[in-house]
């Protein structure tokens, strides 16, 4: 029985509405699904949080562009335009992404911009401009802030990227730098993560694991032994593979591409998930530099640990149609940055596996770096 309880009926004057406040037009987006308030970010993890946000917002209208799941958002250029816009953002937080005990301000500024430029490279685009938001402790010296911007300018200069705005704020808990980069790519040429197909060949640029070893060297206060300075340079001053990304996208060589920011173990999973495929990686084919081999021999460590889960190399991982592999090799013959074939794309049902040197297939290692997980820090 649904009788109204006596005394609970609310009355309103004739012609008035029970709704108070301004009226807004109905959104085209469906009501977003909320999460369980009892789930902490530490338990959810970075990727879990991204997937949660993606489920909340990906159902809205998308005719203006796309971006959830890729390195950059792609914004359609509109009628008559031959280029699409690329938009990406990243933040570096003191105590999480860098430690001022061994990260000079110049290096922090350089890296803060470089990691965004690397996202543009992974889409095959060219960066054009950027804005910077900084939160700084009130006691920070102006000379230190100048060093920070000097690092950004040095990272921007090779690509003629211009700073066009930003914001500053006081931050009591330490320094943070958030940069948003705007780039361009020829219409229809953006290389996202979702195009890999079964039978494609997996390639990477450069070598893997150097940056993770460089971070160890910094923490230990090293750099005096041969090769350690090069490892530190890879950690502190990553080089975005803009030129290589442009070749791969414009020549239609990369069906799917991602930059290696969190480590091969994590980023390969991202590419496979977006493409709906699995992968087999040959451990013996993963490119390891001479400085990393020397370092791991001295430390009695396995270089594969650094190459698979270390992160921050900012090399490109990409899938190539097997019929285009000869064309790819010709395009990079004699180039300053090499490409290495490390595996192949397989059906999703086969998962992601690592072929060891004894030719046995093993489960791929655990993920690389992930924010919010316990014990993570600079």
Domains of the chain, CATH where assigned: 66-186 (3.30.1330.10), 201-363 (3.90.650.10)
Length reported for the chain = 378
Question: What token pair was written down for 362?
Answer: 């093993």
pLDDT digits (tens, 9 = 90+) for 277-308: 999 999 999 999 999 999 999 999 999 999 99
Question: What token pair was written down for 74?
Answer: 């792609």
Q: What local confidence, expressed as pLDDT, does residue 221 receive?
A: 87
Q: Which of 311, 334, 296, 215 is nearest to 258 (CA)?
A: 311
Q: What does DSSP assign to residue 365?
A: P
Q: Which of 272, 275, 253, 274 is nearest to 264 (CA)?
A: 272
**In a 3-state reduction of DSSP, which class is residue 24?**
coil
pLDDT digits (tens, 9 = 90+) for 338-361: 999 999 999 999 999 999 988 999
How crowded is residue 124: how many other Cβ atoms within 10 Å of its Cβ?
A: 30
pLDDT digits (tens, 9 = 90+) for 91-122: 999 988 999 998 999 999 999 999 999 999 99
Question: What token pair was written down for 225?
Answer: 């032994």
pLDDT digits (tens, 9 = 90+) for 15-33: 444 444 455 455 555 555 5
Backbone angles phi, psi at 111, to 5 degrees: -70, -35
Tell which wins on pLDDT, 289 or 46. 289
The rounded distance, in Å, linking the Cα atoms of 171 and 132 is 15
Cross-strand pairs, 205: 339
For residues 200-207, give the mean pLDDT: 98
Task: Confirm if 180 and 89 have CB atoms less than 8 A apart.
Answer: yes
Q: Which segments of 123-253 does DSSP mark as H helices, in order?
A: 142-156, 210-220, 228-236, 242-250
Model pTM score: 0.82
Please write down the long-range contacts of 295-301, taking CB distance under 8 Å and 24 or more positions apart: 295/213, 295/217, 295/225, 295/227, 295/228, 295/231, 296/213, 298/225
């Amino acid at each position: 029985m649904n009788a109204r309880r006596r005394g609970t009926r609310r009355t309103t004057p004739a012609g008035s509405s029970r709704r108070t406040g301004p009226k807004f037009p109905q959104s085209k987006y469906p009501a977003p699904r909320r999460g369980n308030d009892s789930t902490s970010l530490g338990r959810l993890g970075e990727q879990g949080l991204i997937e949660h946000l993606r489920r909340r917002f990906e159902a809205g209208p998308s005719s203006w562009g796309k971006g959830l799941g890729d390195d950059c958002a792609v914004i359609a250029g509109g009628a008559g335009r031959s280029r699409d816009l690329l938009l990406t953002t990243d933040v570096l937080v003191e105590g999480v992404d860098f430690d001022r005990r061994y990260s000079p301000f110049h290096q922090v500024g350089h890296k803060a911009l470089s990691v965004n430029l690397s996202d543009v490279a992974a889409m095959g685009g060219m960066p054009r401009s950027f804005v910077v938001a900084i939160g700084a402790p009130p006691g920070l010296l102006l000379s230190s802030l100048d060093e920070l911007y000097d690092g950004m300018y040095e990272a921007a200069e090779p690509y003629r990227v211009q700073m066009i705005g930003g914001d500053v704020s006081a931050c009591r808990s330490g320094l943070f730098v958030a940069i948003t980069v705007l780039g361009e790519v020829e219409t229809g040429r953006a290389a996202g993560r979702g195009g890999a197909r079964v039978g494609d060949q997996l390639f990477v640029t450069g070598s893997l694991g150097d940056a993770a070893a460089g971070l160890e060297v910094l923490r230990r206060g090293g750099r005096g032994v041969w090769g350690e300075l090069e490892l530190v340079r890879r950690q502190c001053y990553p080089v975005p593979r803009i030129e290589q990304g442009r070749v791969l996208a414009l020549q239609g060589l990369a069906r799917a591409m991602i930059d290696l920011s969190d480590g091969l173990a994590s980023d390969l999973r991202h590419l496979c998930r977006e493409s709906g495929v699995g992968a087999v990686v040959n451990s013996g084919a993963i490119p390891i530099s001479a400085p990393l081999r020397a370092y791991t021999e001295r430390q009695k460590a396995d270089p594969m640990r650094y190459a698979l889960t270390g992160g921050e190399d900012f090399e490109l991982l990409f899938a190539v149609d097997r019929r285009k592999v000869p064309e790819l090799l010709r395009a990079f013959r004699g180039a300053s940055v090499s490409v290495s074939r490390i595996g192949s794309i397989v059906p999703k049902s086969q998962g992601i596996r690592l072929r060891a040197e004894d030719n046995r297939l093993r489960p791929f290692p655990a993920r690389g770096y992930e924010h919010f997980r316990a014990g993570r820090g600079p």
